[in-house]
Amino acid sequence: MRRRLIRFLLGGLYVGLLTLLLIVHVQGIAGQIERTMASVEVFLLAFPTMTVMVLYARMKEQSKEDGPPQGTGQSKITSVEQLKERLQDCPLTRREWEIAWLIYRGYSNREIAEEFCIAESTVKKHTSHIYEKLQVSGRKEFREKVNILAFTAL
């Protein structure tokens, strides 16, 4: 969340500085009418750029909320509580449940580390414990197992 906000703020700062730079250069244009036209053009360029930034940020956020692709007829797991219900026989710690949820939603180890403000190596350690306890070998197999359990729970 913080990383997305920082990226968005840095992008906004970049567009703002670029706009300011263009305005300063526009002031060097000789005639008043030309300066006014150039200023309008600068703002017309800045507006679509900001719009694209906002749409990109929303698209990235939406893709994380959607979670992994679901097959036909499978229920969509929308919370960590539902994940716990599907894997109720698995003795995970509180942190492992949180990380398992983010793995299910498609986060990378780096994104999980940033989300919890922990080292990426710590995430790898938690991930290996989760896989060991669930007797799976990787993310794909983890998601398949969760989806199969979700489907059989219907």
Using one digit for the tens of pLDDT, what is the confidence trace for 55-107? 777 766 655 555 544 443 345 677 778 788 777 778 888 898 889 889 988 89
Confidence (pLDDT) at 45: 78
**pLDDT higher for 39 or 99?**
99
CA distances for 43 relative to 7, 63, 80, 99, 127, angstroms:
22, 30, 45, 44, 48
Q: Is the pLDDT of residue 8 over 80?
A: no
Range(s) of the domain holding residue 26: 2-66
Mean pLDDT rounded to a whole number for the chain: 78
Residue 123, number of CB atoms within 10 A of its CB: 24
- Kindly state whether residues 33 and 95 are assigned to the same domain: no
- Kindly state whether residues 86 and 62 are assigned to the same domain: no
What is the count of structural domains for the chain?
2
- Kindly state whether residues 94 and 128 are assigned to the same domain: yes
CATH number at residue 103: 1.10.10.10
Query: Of 37, 66, 95, which marks where a domain is finished?
Result: 66
- Kindly state whether residues 37 and 85 are assigned to the same domain: no
